[in-house]
Structure 1
Amino acid sequence: MRDSHMTNGISRRRVLGATGAVGLSALAGCLGGPSILERGTNDESTSMSGPPTADRSLPEEYTADELEAASLSGGPGQDGIPSIDEPQFASADDPPATLEADDPVFGVEMDGEAKAYPQYILVWHEIVNDVVGGEPVAVTYCPLTGTAQGFYRGESEFGVSGQLINSNLVMFDRGTETWWPQILAWGLNGPLEGAYLEEFQVTWTTWGRWREQYPETVVLTEETGHIRNYGDDPYGEYNPRSGYYDNENTLFTPLATDDQFPPKAVVIGMRNADGAMAVPKETLRDQLVIEGTVSDVPYVTVYDEALDTGYVYHNPATEAVEYDDGTFTVDGDEYDPDALPLEREIAFDAMWFAWFGYYPSTVVHE
């Protein structure tokens, strides 16, 4: 059932304080703080250009007016949750002392350079403006929707607008101040309204898994230029899972709802010109290979046990993909899960309520 209504006038701070997940004073002093910028007054950024955009088509199930009407304040104002603009890194042999092997990290590998961004740091910042493999990028994370996504940023930087839509982070770029709902990767208003961002793959995994696969990786440190209580997640914990991450309550009403899965069950979501699809991550762990179609176009999703993640491939020729003794075979040849001879799509972990809220026409592959 589609529902455009979202709880108005209720901030993340107020709801979390009321539910006991964290005290209001802690959030006011750490998660956000006073707004640094007001929308439209960032004079310093006016000389910057906006991020590069892509010639692509993604499902659009709401109009810009509907999405703007559904936007609400998350509490802190624009840049009140500060992005990390001068990230500092440590080697895999000398990681932050509080980073444990089972802690979630968001892994990126570009042009031979690997970096890991711990969830317990990004929960306080949501955006890291960085350079990986020579490319200026933004690694973004929304705690309320469990989505970690990467965007090319060009000469611009991304910041946290302070707004939420469908509980999801709304970014803005400091070059044009266009709003960008993270999951949609789409310009909601401003000079780049209607444009799409260029994305790259971000892997939600654990520090131990990422370090094992990429021993030369570096890892983001707590030297962010901001004073935060790193290691004390204001929403709960992932290791072990607790608080907001371990209950079925959402802080705000989704744009659309569906009870096929628990609201915060993790799905691997993919969307492109054919439409949107979702694969329950727990099912993928069990089955290893899942096939299905989107608008009659065949796709196959495979499981990477080493990183506990999944990859979605466009499979128009319906190549037979099989798993045997740790490797995948296609047409008799063996491949690693991230290197099948098929066109790979951008896909990422998301909480089911958030994915369905934005893409109620999504096709589920099980």
Structure 2
Amino acid sequence: MTKLLELNNVTKVFKGGTVALDDISFSVDAASPSVIAVAGESGSGKSTLGLITLGFLEPTKGTVLYKGQDIHKLRGEAQFAFRKEVQAIFQDPFAVYNPFYKVDHLFYEAIKNFKLANSKDEAQRLIVEALESVGLRPDETLGRFPHQLSGGQRQRLVVARALLLQPQLLVADEPVSMVDASLRATILKSLRKLNDEYKITILYITHDLTTAYHVSDYIMILYKGSVMEAGDVESVIRDPKHPYTQLLIDSIPWPDLQRTWGQKEIIIPDGTEVIGKGCKFASRCPHVMSICREARPPLYFPNGESRVAACYLYEGQPTLSRDDVGDLFATVAHKQAAPVAAD
């Protein structure tokens, strides 16, 4: 079965030698639309992954396939279809607008370029339906300039514009980081609705594990361009296995007076890290062993669980074979659904 999206051994090295992504592989099954969070601290490679998926950046090594075709080799109708079916929501809810045009322009240009309507009345109907689907009232938003709307309204307009094109894949890069906390739930609810009702696969890029937990089905934790842990979001957030994920979770101020946070020591890199050798988190890890500095750990299934962690703490446990790394989330879902043998 052809995958909707495949990243095969994708590496991105910028000028100066900065490695933003290092041998990343995963795929998204078209038959099982889901919300996949890509999380990690600043500089982990999250946004680079999103830009490569959208075709805005070309990988230094590896390939990005959409429905089995290399996105950088698409031409004609295939390229047109890719641009329509793969949409983006970016962090800044103002930068996507031309301040000299009313917000209606954002919709009418999309309708014209992708030939979505045969008349002005039909175009208006499509716009109204898209706005209402994300909780906006057309009479309060259409006919206005971007500066006349709130950040939350502008961001929901971008979500509505993406929905207008009926995409199959949506790359949402920090879509709620620049809006008020009171509006985050509304925007996240809109994203979840796109997946649940419209069967749109969403790649949700964020540094905020709290929002990732509420909106996602699966999560992939990156550190310096490499996968540290990945699996279903409930397991990873509730019971993280990799020391880096544990550090991230420990930094979340949970609304529970009986629960402490910020107890784990944040270790400053000791300068002994060897580029391209060993675990990238070794210089900050409280559990570091000699092997951690000698060879990069494979993706282990900790205690046979339905998630993977790149950590030698689980040496001796089953590993995800290199041939299956691309099917990371499918493998995790299959393992999660498999019956557990009775003791």
TM over 0.5: no
TM score, norm. by length of structure 2: 0.25
The structure carrying a bigger strand percent of its residues is 1
| Structure richer in helix, relative to its length | 2
Which structure has the larger Rg over C-alpha atoms? 2
